[in-house]
Amino acid sequence: MAENLLAIDNGTQSVRALLFDPRGKLIAKQRVPIEPYYSDAPGLAEQKPKSSERSLSGLPGLMAAGCLKDSIAAVALTTSAGQSSS
C-alpha cells in the first residue's frame, strides 16, 4: 500500500532524498554530491543542468535501503532558486 512520502531536495552542493512514513519518521535517506556552481563574472553563478540530473541517479540507494517504489504515495521536490539584482 502506498503511504510513504519521498522528499527530494536539489541544492547547490548536493541532492538529498528522504523517505518518511505517514507519521513523519525518517525511513531512509540518500545524499549525492553535485558539481558546485561556477562564476564567469562577479555577481553571476551558474550550474550545469546535467549535474543535477546525474545526481538523481543516486536515488536507487534508497531502494537498497528498503524503500520500495510501490510504497511511495507522494513526492515533494524542492530546489534552490537564483536571485537577480537589478
Tens of pLDDT, residues 30-81: 888 877 777 788 888 777 777 666 666 666 666 665 667 788 899 898 876 6
Distances in Å between the Cα of 27 and the Cα atoms of 1, 32, 34, 42 are 16, 17, 23, 42
Q: CA 39, CA 16: separation in Å to the nearest integer?
A: 24
Report the distance separating Cα 17 and Cα 63, nearest Å. Answer: 11
Strand order across the beta sheet in which 14-20 lies: 26-33, 14-20, 4-10, 72-79
Residue type, 69: K
Is the pLDDT at 21 greater than 70? The verdict is yes
Residue 25: per-residue pLDDT: 94
pLDDT above 50 (res 86): no
**DSSP code at position 38:** B
Judge residue 34's burial from the number of C-beta atoms within 10 Å of its C-beta, 0-12 exposed, 13-18 middle, 19 or more buried: buried
